[in-house]
Structure 1
Amino acid sequence: MRTLLMMAGGTGGHVFPALAVAQVLRERGIEVVWLGTRRGFEAHSVPEAGFDMEWISIRGLRGKGWWGWWVAPLRLTVALVQSVMVILRRRPDALLGMGGFVAGPGGLAAWLLRKPLLIHEANAVAGFTNRWLALVAQRVMTGFPHSVGIDPKRGIYIGNPLRADIVAMDRRNNTEPDSKAPLNLLVVGGSQGARVFNNIVPLALAALAIEQRPSVRHQCGRGNREAASLAYRDAGINGVAPSEFIDDMAKAYAWADVVLCRAGAMTVAELSAMGVTALLVPYPHAISGHQTANARFLSEHQAGVLLPESELTPQCLAEWLGKFHARRDLLAGFGQRALSLSRPQATAEVAQICMERMCA
């Protein structure tokens, strides 16, 4: 049986797409082993999906101060040695890096041991690790047509792998809804958007005439439900019950007419696949401004609205919601153009490229 060592971790934005690829490979008879850390999102989600884990010790350097940079060489050396030992023990036919700190030492170990290395860069601006790994990888796949930091001659535009539930969901037909019905607004805050959305959305709804106010589903982020609920009550908005986490995002996207969210690569890919209109507020502290670049991909095609956080006020949000309420044709047009940019076969294509490399 062929074996692939998957390197992805840290956040759901790295792990979910990698899991989607891993599940396709498993269905095709490939053994997938996961390289990760005990601190990241992968520590629980990957074993729950039935994949074997191999652990290394690595963490990010940004925001750790002088001490973090002082001990970085030692930590990287330890992680590199651990990665080499995993490769020697597991003997994978190829390695696939899909983001997160583990891809650095894992990718370097693959290069040292002359193992086939493939990487997938999810964002429109490549991260530091992938910029370097792209120089030695046998295959470089990208989630956007032009990823800054990746040589266009080496990068293959695939799109971002999607979870099976997103791919399986019926695509939105984008017919114009009844103009008298309230819009359905999905607010996805999460860890990097909870507070700003929790504060602004209730005030924006309060600024709208009652007949213009949308129905709202609000993911407010872990530990923020009480504060978000209080913000709605203080604004005089009833009928909204914020939740810390939405289990079935595919159904939530299908329900929504408009989504207010950040602009992570996975989010942008899912919005496009579902053909839903989005108000994209990039996380302002994202490394290299990659979320702004991700959002710009949709906004430049009139497939989404880019709203810098510095410009996101209750009045600004209310104006957009009021415009979409009155102009359902405008709303439908954004969704149709988003759908036209989707790459629903990205998961299968990444898996196929991996298989071709393993069998070469």
Structure 2
Amino acid sequence: MRLVLTGGGTGGHIYPALAIGREVAEKEPGSELLYIGTKKGLESRIVPAQGLPFESIDISGIRRSLSLENVRTVIRFIQGVRRSKALLKRFKPDIVVGTGGYVCGPVVYAASRLGIPTLIHEQNVVPGLTNKFLSRYASGVAVSFEDSLPHFARVGNVKYAGNPVASTMVKANKAQGYASLGLAPGTPFVLVTGGSGGARALNDAVLAMLPGLVSLAGVHLVLVTGDRYYEQTAERVKALPADVAKRVHVLSYVNNMPEVLAASSMIISRAGASFLAEVTSLGVPAVLIPSPNVTNNHQQPNAESLAAAGAAEMILEKDLSGDGLLRSVSSIMRDAELREKMAKASRRLGTPNAATAIYEQMLELIHRK
């Protein structure tokens, strides 16, 4: 297969694209892939590091208020379409797959104008602006949440496939997760993460609840702070009573998140779509605090979807406190039957075969042409 991937701005768009690329390479050895992104986006660093050919176009997002910058964006879009057409004519892909972000707009639109099959993948429950626009032109749409389907009711070929990053989790080694944390196998622990950059609100709430950890005998807590908050958080943990501090493990970043996640008893986290795909593929009970600082508040519907299924509890950041968080953690960690019930609900939402489902949808679109 000759495949063009496009998606950028955040890891939530980039990693699903890379997962699709890996699936194609495994299913069809000798396939040729090309990734089209922007020079300023995170993809310009992540994709070449994966050994994939990378080309760039210049594009920016539409502002929600009247602005001269929007005029420049329209001009960049037109130029981006022209540049994308040139790249596509040269590469001659069988299909173009977009996973979100502004860069997808001109690339997928250009492919549709050239008669090349196109597929867009939506990670969140509520579609982003670019994917809403592209759904009018794409040959097909794949969604990560079943709750997304009504948003694409007018699309002829839309399928609930899941998020392809989930497919990488099935091989996660739980024993390696414990070993990397210096914990004995089977040690119950709560994993807290605010994403790669960390989240101050989560860190502060967890620090406020830590004195209450003494009531949860034998339970450890792994707090992934993000680089910005590591030193100050580590200092505050050192000031805790020794019997609590010895059960709190403060890390700035986790390089082996699949293994650590597989070993965890429950998780406290934001509600980014790709991370939730990993959580549900492993069936980890969760307390979710969606970030209010994202476009269209898109994390809240993600969290609500898991909460409605019984796989998670949701706490809005405005309602977050140390006492409230401790109550949620205590109720879950003290009740093995509840944890198993949440884990089963989570696994029912998991889509470990998502990458394969998307690959099969791609073949269908190619053969249809």
1:198 aligned to which of 200, 203, 225: 203
| SS state at 2:39 partner | coil
Shift of 1:193: 4.8
Number of the residue aligned with 1:169: 172
**C-alpha contact (below 8 Å) 2:7/2:17 kept by paired residues:** yes
1:238 aligned to which of 239, 242, 245: 245
Number of the residue aligned with 1:335: 343
Number of the residue aligned with 1:159: 162
1:217 aligned to which of 205, 219, 222: 222
**C-alpha contact (below 8 Å) 2:5/2:34 kept by paired residues:** yes
Shift of 1:37: 1.4
Q: Residues 81 and 242 of structure 1: is their aligned pair in 2 closer, same or farther, counting only changes over 3 Å?
A: farther
Which AA in structure 1 matches 2:117? Answer: P
Number of the residue aligned with 2:41: 40
Which of 132-141 and 70-79 deviates more?
A: 70-79
**C-alpha contact (below 8 Å) 2:166/2:351 kept by paired residues:** no
Q: Residues 231 and 60 of structure 1: is their aligned pair in 2 closer, same or farther, counting only changes over 3 Å?
A: farther
Q: Residues 56 and 308 of structure 1: is their aligned pair in 2 closer, same or farther, counting only changes over 3 Å?
A: same
Q: Residues 152 and 233 of structure 1: is their aligned pair in 2 closer, same or farther, counting only changes over 3 Å?
A: farther
Number of the residue aligned with 2:212: 207
Residues 99-114 of structure 1 mapped to structure 2, 5 A cutoff: 99-114=100-115
Q: Does 2:138 correspond to 1:137?
A: yes
Which of 236-245 and 285-294 deviates more?
A: 236-245
Q: Does 2:356 correspond to 1:348?
A: yes
In structure 2, C-alpha distance between the alignment counterparts of 1:79 and 1:213, rounded to whole Å: 56
- Number of corresponding residues: 351
Shift of 1:317: 0.6
The alignment yields a C-alpha RMSD, in angstroms, of 2.4
In structure 2, C-alpha distance between the alignment counterparts of 1:203 and 1:213, rounded to whole Å: 19
In structure 1, C-alpha distance between the alignment counterparts of 2:80 and 2:227, rounded to whole Å: 30
Which of 80-89 and 18-27 deviates more?
A: 80-89
TM-score by length of 1: 0.90
In structure 2, C-alpha distance between the alignment counterparts of 1:163 and 1:53, rounded to whole Å: 24
**C-alpha contact (below 8 Å) 1:193/1:261 kept by paired residues:** no
In structure 2, C-alpha distance between the alignment counterparts of 1:215 and 1:41, rounded to whole Å: 34
Q: Residues 339 and 171 of structure 1: is their aligned pair in 2 closer, same or farther, counting only changes over 3 Å?
A: farther
Number of the residue aligned with 1:22: 21
Which of 339-348 and 324-333 deviates more?
A: 324-333
Residues 6-155 of structure 1 mapped to structure 2, 5 A cutoff: 6-27=5-26, 28-29=28-29, 30-62=31-63, 66-147=67-148, 149-151=151-153, 154=156, 155=158
Q: Residues 64 and 196 of structure 1: is their aligned pair in 2 closer, same or farther, counting only changes over 3 Å?
A: farther
Number of the residue aligned with 1:178: none
Unaligned runs of 5+ in 1: 173-180
Shift of 1:163: 5.3
Q: Residues 321 and 291 of structure 1: is their aligned pair in 2 closer, same or farther, counting only changes over 3 Å?
A: same
In structure 2, C-alpha distance between the alignment counterparts of 1:86 and 1:68, rounded to whole Å: 26
**C-alpha contact (below 8 Å) 1:184/1:257 kept by paired residues:** yes
**C-alpha contact (below 8 Å) 1:192/1:283 kept by paired residues:** no
Shift of 1:58: 1.9
Q: Residues 204 and 62 of structure 1: is their aligned pair in 2 closer, same or farther, counting only changes over 3 Å?
A: farther
1:304 aligned to which of 308, 312, 319: 312
Number of the residue aligned with 1:292: 300
Q: Does 2:197 correspond to 1:189?
A: no
**C-alpha contact (below 8 Å) 2:205/2:321 kept by paired residues:** yes
**C-alpha contact (below 8 Å) 2:60/2:73 kept by paired residues:** no
**C-alpha contact (below 8 Å) 2:167/2:351 kept by paired residues:** no
After superposition, the C-alpha distances for 1:229-256 in whole angstroms (9 at most, x for unaligned) are 1332355552334323211111111121
Which AA in structure 2 matches 1:232? Answer: V
In structure 1, C-alpha distance between the alignment counterparts of 2:76 and 2:67, rounded to whole Å: 14
Residues 259-274 of structure 1 mapped to structure 2, 5 A cutoff: 259-274=267-282
Which of 113-122 and 275-284 deviates more?
A: 113-122
In structure 2, C-alpha distance between the alignment counterparts of 1:163 and 1:317, rounded to whole Å: 27
Which AA in structure 2 matches 1:161? Answer: P
**C-alpha contact (below 8 Å) 2:198/2:228 kept by paired residues:** no
Shift of 1:216: 1.8
Number of the residue aligned with 1:253: 261
| SS state at 2:97 partner | strand
Unaligned runs of 5+ in 2: 176-185
TM-score by length of 2: 0.88
Identity across the alignment (%): 29
In structure 2, C-alpha distance between the alignment counterparts of 1:190 and 1:272, rounded to whole Å: 16
Number of the residue aligned with 2:182: none
After superposition, the C-alpha distances for 1:161-220 in whole angstroms (9 at most, x for unaligned) are 125541223799xxxxxxxx9730111112565211121111111134344473122221
Structure with more of its chain in helix, by fraction: 2
